[in-house]
Amino acid sequence: MSKPTIYSIARRCGVSAATVSRVFNRPELVSPAVRDQVTAVARELGYLPNPAARGLVTGRAETIGLIVSDITNPFFPLLVRSIQRTAERMSSSVMLVDAEESAAAEVRHVARLRGRVDGVIVASPRSSSAALREAAKGLPCVLLNRPLRDLSSVICDNTSALFDAGEHLHKHGHRRFALLAGPSASWAAARRSHAIRRWARGRGVELIELGPFRATFKGGRQAGAALLETDATAAFAFDDLTACGVLAELAGRGVPVPGERSVVGCDDVLLARTVTPSLTTVTAPMDGLGATAVQVLTRRIEAPGGAPEHHRLPGVFVARDSTGPWPAS
């Protein structure tokens, strides 16, 4: 059986090959009835449009770039999946790049993607504001978990959920807390620390600040060791991966959780639900973050001169088994 072409589709539909081409490249120029007929026949014949050929007509690569700060962090796989699924529904592919927590690499990758993609999403960037602005000049760009006034952004706002986490611990009798700060170049780490400080001041409780620590399992173990040098009975870890390192360090030293220490993470990655004890944390709206980022980027690609968009999606506190009463009963 021969491979279907726009000519075989045109013959079946009784229209010109040019009309079939417009259906796939400039659908707004074709009537809905003809568009529906052509796409139905194309599906029946198993026709797949040629992206390269379509790009010659539209002037687009039909690919978006996605730069993540650290692909080994379990926060990113669900986010990448959400972005990919949304991009696919919008007829785009995703080119994924790992910056390996390097600000210089982020800027370098943006430059390398220019001309290969229609726009770029930079997730949890470590670069300075000035570097990001310069790198994104003339390129549709959306920042994830990093707001800048003149670049579109989508962020997860965990402030309310972290207040809920603090209240949860306070109701359990905890009065001395440790803040296990995340990477110093991370905007999310700074915002989470700020929220926890605000809650502690408002509650009038003691807050011991430790770190910064890398957002890795090893960084979490170092944070756990530092925690045991204090008399804090409850700890806020920067993220779930750090929190799991804390749990491992405490377990290795024979410190029961939540018997002697309570631990809270952030993001609610799969690891948070599979670790023992299961991790009390803040759920990030991964599907919403990824989908919104792609939708905003698509609008930036279609209208490059439009005003930047800024979206905040709330996190939700989830209590599990790594937190409990103090003193333990």
* 172-231 per-position pLDDT tens digit: 999 999 999 999 999 999 999 999 999 999 999 999 999 999 999 999 999 999 999 999
Of 131, 134, 172, 164, give the one whose Cα is nearest residue 257: 172
Contacts of 160 (CB under 8 A, 6+ apart): 314, 315
Domain spanning 61-156+286-313: CATH 3.40.50.2300: yes
In this structure, what token pair is assigned to residue 56? 């010659």
Dihedral sign of CA atoms 11, 12, 17, 19 in order? positive
Query: Can you tell me the mean pLDDT for 130-138?
Result: 94
Domains 61-156+286-313 and 159-284 share a fold: yes
- CATH H superfamily, domain 159-284: Response regulator (3.40.50.2300)
pLDDT category at 144 given cuts 50, 70, 90 is: very high
Token pair in block for residue 272: 């948070």
The letter for the amino acid at 175 is: R
- What is the side-by-side strand order in the sheet with 206-210? 206-210, 176-180, 234-237, 262-264
Instruction: Tell me the three state secondary structure of residue 150.
Output: coil
Q: What is the pLDDT of residue 306?
A: 87
Rounded distance between C-alpha atoms, residue 311 and residue 125, angstroms? 17
pLDDT band per the 50, 70, 90 thresholds, residue 28: confident
pTM: 0.81
Better-predicted residue by pLDDT, 52 or 324: 324
| Six-digit token string for 161 | 């959920």
Q: How far apart are CA 81 and CA 308, in angstroms?
A: 25
- Check residue 59 and give its pLDDT: 59
pLDDT tier at 58, thresholds 50, 70, 90: low
Residue ranges covered by each domain of the chain: 6-49, 61-156+286-313, 159-284
Q: Select from 235, 251, 241 the least CA-distant residue to 219.
A: 241
Res. 93: pLDDT tops 60: yes
Q: Are 243 and 237 in contact, with CB atoms under 8 Å apart? A: yes
Lowest mean pLDDT among 12-21, 123-132, 270-279, 285-294: 12-21
Quick one: fold of 6-49? Answer: 434 Repressor (Amino-terminal Domain) (1.10.260)
What's the gap between Cα 144 and its chain centre?
6
